[in-house]
Amino acid sequence: MSDFKKLFKPLGLNDSEIAIYLLSLEIGPAQPQALAKNSGFSRPATYQAIEQLVNKGLMSFVLKGKRNVYAAEPPERLLHFGQTRLKELEIKIKEIAENIEELNALRKGDKPTIKFFEGANGIKSILSDLVASEPEMTYEITNVNAVKNVFTYNDLESAHKIMEKARGKGRAFLAGDIKAVREGVDARHLPKEKFAFEGDVLVYGDKTALASYKGKVVGVVIENKGIAQTMKALFDIAWQSSDKFKKLD
């Protein structure tokens, strides 16, 4: 049997609404007291769920004697409800996209300069931010083996797909076992016997991202033009001596 709770949740229905709707489908027209008794919800919670379902067009009622009897609408109505919500969501997404610049203008006065991230999803958020920033040049120092040791295969595949979208050129010092280098990146291999570190540094635009893969995976992004310029200068100094390291293709 399908997990209807997980199926209906994205439609904006809460637990009590889902339970009452499914129960009503099973037992047919019933008074609120019967629905409350059979669902295990309190009467107030049941009444509230019924009211919301009626407002959403997923339940209806008829007057029998002096009491209202409620019944779930056919599942086809639920499908129509989902399609309607999808259309409404698409309109809202379009409106948000049209107002991105205005929304960003609101946050400039109190714009955070430091953001912290945790776990594989946090690191992928940093990579997504890099891609969205579309920098002309990126600067990177990474221990590839440290990344592989803490991330699952699916995490690595997901991160790889994100970076496939990256444009622009880059320079990178890479330690560990490297199989391939992203197109447009001029990379040098750091011998692991000389350079022991378990993290990475990534500089793009006015942002400097640092991550540690030892123990708990954490990352931080500092958005500051002065710090980014300083990191780029340090990188350029190191790059001037990069001829001693093997070039990666």
Residues 137 and 236 in one domain: yes
Residues 18 and 131 in one domain: no
Q: 61 φ, ψ to 5°?
A: -145, 155
Q: What is the CATH number of the domain that holds 144?
A: 3.30.870.10
Bridge partners of residue 154, in order along the sequence: none
Residues 46 and 123 in one domain: no
Give a yes or no: residue 104 inside a domain.
no
pLDDT single digits (tens) 119-164:
988 998 998 998 888 888 999 999 988 888 888 878 788 877 887 7
Residues 200 and 143 in one domain: yes
Those residues with Cβ within 8 angstroms of residue 15's Cβ, 6 or more apart along the chain or in another chain: 5
> Which residue, among 53, 86, 92, 90, has the nearest Cα to 70 in the 3D structure?
53
Residue 248: which pLDDT band, with cuts at 50, 70 and 90?
low
Q: What is the CATH number of the domain that holds 13?
A: 1.10.10.10
> Which residue, among 146, 149, 150, has the nearest Cα to 121 in the 3D structure?
150
Give a yes or no: residue 99 inside a domain.
no
Does 106 score more than 90 pLDDT? no
Give a yes or no: residue 18 inside a domain.
yes
pLDDT single digits (tens) 157-209:
887 788 777 777 899 999 888 877 878 888 888 887 788 889 999 999 999 99
Domain containing 199 equals: 112-248
Residues in the chain: 249
- The answer to whether the CB of 220 falls within 8 A of the CB of 117 is yes
Residues 77 and 23 in one domain: yes
CA atoms within 13 A on the CB side of 18: 13
Count of structural domains, the chain: 2
Residues 134 and 201 in one domain: yes
Residues 60 and 163 in one domain: no
pTM over 0.85: no
Residues 79 and 185 in one domain: no
Q: Given this model, what pLDDT does residue 36 score? A: 92
CA atoms within 13 A on the CB side of 162: 19
